[in-house]
């Protein structure tokens, strides 16, 4: 078991104090990180005491220490899952050889690029969520937002650690640039699509943490199967934090749906009447789901990808739970893919390696299906007939095979004209955004909650809902 050193400026379990060069590099990055956090992190609340969980070691109990802290004083540390003795490269052409403890020269660029792309999403999400604290529906939710934000900050640290330790000067430059790009900025945007989309209300926040953080789960699992062992160990520890983010999203939407169902039981399903009661109507919830789910599907990259094929072939990135597969080399197999040819949908056989993005996306889609099923259980328990659903993966895509082709939510090809006439039934309109925005008023009294969401079933760390999760 690795030993955590909590005494220095940067808590870690990677023996930082014995590597003076690395320690100096990270200590010189740290004030720039804090500047970024103060400028682009949660707006307001930086002087408040937040009831946060802090990672202090990687063993089962140690990484979840709770206490009130001011966010800028949160101890962002560097924690890697413990090294597995004799770990082998789990996939691709080098399958079964010893995993790399250092970066192989020929894979340097590809690895750096993946680590930078991963790292870029973390501060991007904090930027996207920057103003949400001002309209939190309860102190419990406010605290959860900040927990997610500080952990995304820690995920950035995790990637910066890899850049600084293994990529020399290039790595240090990339680490600086991670603090320079800005979500949604036309001149210096974040790298991936969804991370430049505005996330300006709490319905979006809960959809984002459900669907976009879940891309994080799948990508981190795939990177945890990397032959580059330090990346694998870093991602394995990040995954322990990721599950809380998805919990925040899934239970958040569950509570929005519960409130909606209760109101429908009182006044009927008519959206205007649901809205008159201060709840969010189910069609609006569905439209937000459609928007964030399809945007997050794009984060897996193109359905056919030579990048993905070479990442897999070189053993840089595996599949979700690679060990559950029989064939780890994948030179022979095929994947049946639906593609568009001459304005028709046809089946095409794609070499497995080229389909690696789509294979990862398959696992993601089925995970999302389970989530929506759990949301539908809420409707069922409330005695409602209505149901939420996932749109087909071809719907509303900006990246890959189906980008810029019109499909309905069932995945049928449709004309531009049909798209234009039905778009507002499928995706949020300006009026929907405005309505949701009109509900976003801060509720900051302990134990109180906004009209559009049900209270959680229990508090955080066995505290009651009424607990003062955030205090001056
Ligand atoms: N947006 O071969 P292709 C998380 C680019 S989320 C913009 O189809 P590839 C988190 C692509 O870069 C997890 N560009 O795709 C969640 C390529 O560019 P070049 C983040 C895109 O390379 C919530 C070109 O299109 N982690 O942690 O196989 C809160 C053709 O690409 C997009 C990772 O993503 C897009 N959506 O796969 C906080 C893991 N899609 O080469 C955090 C690391 C594709 O033409 N990243 N492109 O310049 C990767 O493994 C890969 O970069 C991707 C793309 C899977 C994203
Ligand atoms: Fe993250
Ligand atoms: Fe996350």
Q: What phi, psi does 239 have (nearest 5°)?
A: -60, -30
**Distance in angstroms (rounded) separating the CA atoms of residues 286 and 293:** 10
Report the alpha-carbon distance of residue 191 to residue 171 in Å, rounded.
Answer: 17
**Distance from the alpha carbon of residue 209 to the mean position of ligand 3, in angstroms:** 7
Asked if residue 189 has its Cβ within 6 Å of ligand 1, the reply is no
| Residue nearest ligand 1's atom 25 by CA | 301
Question: Any idea which ligand is nearest the CA of 148?
Answer: 3
Query: For 21-80, how does the pLDDT look when each residue is reduced to its tens digit (9 = 90+)?
Result: 999 999 999 999 999 999 999 999 999 999 999 877 666 666 678 999 999 999 898 999
For residue 211, CA distances in Å to 66, 208, 290, 331 come to 26, 5, 10, 31
**CA geometry: angle 83, 84, 85, nearest 5 deg:** 110
Nearest CA to ligand 1 atom 12: 301
Please list the residues that pair with 338 across neighbouring strands: 347
The response to whether residue 229 sits with its C-beta less than 6 Å from ligand 1 reads no
Mean pLDDT confidence for 187-207: 98
464 alpha carbon – ligand 1 mean position (Å): 40
Q: Mean per-residue pLDDT for 218-234?
A: 98
* Pair of tokens at residue 400: 């890959």
The pLDDT of residue 1:
59
- pLDDT tens, residue by residue, 262-316: 999 999 999 999 999 999 999 999 999 999 999 999 999 999 999 999 999 999 9
- pLDDT of 2 reads 72
Distance 221 CA to ligand 1 centre (A): 15
Given the CA of residue 303, which atom of ligand 1 is nearest to it? Answer: 8
Closest C-alpha to 24, from 16, 36, 12: 16
Percent of the chain with pLDDT over 90: 94
Contact 121 CB / ligand 1 (< 6 Å)? yes
pLDDT tens-digit series, residues 316-338: 999 999 999 999 999 999 999 99
The residues, ordered by sequence, that sit 6+ positions from 356 with a Cβ below 8 Å of its Cβ are 305, 308, 309, 311, 312, 317, 319
Mean pLDDT of 253-259: 98
201 forms beta bridges with none
Percentage with pLDDT > 70 across the chain: 98
Atom 44, ligand 1: residue with shortest CA distance: 301
Using pLDDT thresholds of 50, 70 and 90, give the confidence band for residue 14.
Answer: very high
Q: Is the pLDDT of residue 342 over 70?
A: yes
Instruction: Assess contact for 101 and 229: CB atoms under 8 A.
Output: yes
Top mutation candidate among 192, 304, 358 for ligand 1, by most atoms within 8 Å of CB: 192
Query: Which one of the ligands is nearest to 120 CA?
Result: 1
Q: Is the CB of 301 under 6 A from ligand 1?
A: yes
Q: Say how many Å lie between the CA of residue 216 and the centre of ligand 3.
A: 6
CATH architecture classification, 16-471: Orthogonal Bundle (1.10)
Q: What pLDDT is stored for residue 454 in this prediction?
A: 98
> Has this prediction a pTM greater than 0.85?
yes
What is the Cα–Cα distance from 281 to 264, expressed in whole angstroms? 8
Ligand 1 contact, 246 CB (< 6 A)? no
pLDDT digits (tens, 9 = 90+) for 443-459: 999 999 999 999 999 99
HSE of 323, CA atoms in CB hemisphere, 13 A: 6
- The residues with which 88 forms a beta bridge, in sequence order, are 98
**CA distances for 172 relative to 9, 34, 160, 177, 428, angstroms:** 19, 17, 8, 9, 41
In angstroms, rounded to a whole number, what is the distance separating the alpha carbons of residues 24 and 37?
A: 20
């Amino acid at each position: 078991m690795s030993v955590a050193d909590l005494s220095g400026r940067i808590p870690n379990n990677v023996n930082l104090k014995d590597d003076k060069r690395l320690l100096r590099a990270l200590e010189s990055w740290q004030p720039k990180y804090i500047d970024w956090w103060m400028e682009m992190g949660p707006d307001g609340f930086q002087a408040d005491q937040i009831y946060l969980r802090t990672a202090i070691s990687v063993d089962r109990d140690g990484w979840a220490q709770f206490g009130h802290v001011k966010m800028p004083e949160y101890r962002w540390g560097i924690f890697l899952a413990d090294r597995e003795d004799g770990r082998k490269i789990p996939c691709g052409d080098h399958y079964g050889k010893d995993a790399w403890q250092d970066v192989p020269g020929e894979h340097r660029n590809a690895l750096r690029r993946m680590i930078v792309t991963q790292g870029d999403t973390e501060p991007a999400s904090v930027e996207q969520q920057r103003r949400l604290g001002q309209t939190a529906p309860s102190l419990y939710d406010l605290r959860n937002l900040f927990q997610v934000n500080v952990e995304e900050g820690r995920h950035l640290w995790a990637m910066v650690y890899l850049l600084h330790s293994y990529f020399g000067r290039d790595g240090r430059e990339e680490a600086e640039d991670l603090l320079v790009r800005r979500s949604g900025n036309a001149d210096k945007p974040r790298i991936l699509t969804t991370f430049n989309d505005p996330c300006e209300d709490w319905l979006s926040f809960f959809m984002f943490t459900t669907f976009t953080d879940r891309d994080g789960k799948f990508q981190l699992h795939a990177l945890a199967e990397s032959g580059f062992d330090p990346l694998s160990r870093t991602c394995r520890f990040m995954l322990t934090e990721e599950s809380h983010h998805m919990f925040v999203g899934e239970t958040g939407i569950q509570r929005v749906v519960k409130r909606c169902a209760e109101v429908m039981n009182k006044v009927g399903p008519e959206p205007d009447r649901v809205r008159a009661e201060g709840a969010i109507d189910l069609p609006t919830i569905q439209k937000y789901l459609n928007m964030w789910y399809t945007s997050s599907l794009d984060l897996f990259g193109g359905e056919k990808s030579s990048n993905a094929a070479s990442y897999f072939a070189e053993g840089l990135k595996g599949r979700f739970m690679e060990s559950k597969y029989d064939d780890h080399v994948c030179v022979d197999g095929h994947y049946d893919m639906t593609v568009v040819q001459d304005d028709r949908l046809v089946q095409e056989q794609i070499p497995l390696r080229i389909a690696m993005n789509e294979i990862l996306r398959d696992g993601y889609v089925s995970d999302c299906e389970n989530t929506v099923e759990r949301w539908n259980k809420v409707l069922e328990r409330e005695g409602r007939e209505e149901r939420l659903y996932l749109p087909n993966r071809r719907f509303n895509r900006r990246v890959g095979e189906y980008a810029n082709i019109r499909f309905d939510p069932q995945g049928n090809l449709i004309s531009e004209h049909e798209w234009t006439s039905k778009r507002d039934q499928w995706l949020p309109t300006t009026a929907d955004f405005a309505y949701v925005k009109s509900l976003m008023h801060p509720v900051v009294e302990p134990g109180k909650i906004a009209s559009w969401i049900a209270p959680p079933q229990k508090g955080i760390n066995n505290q009651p809902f009424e607990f003062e999760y955030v205090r001056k």
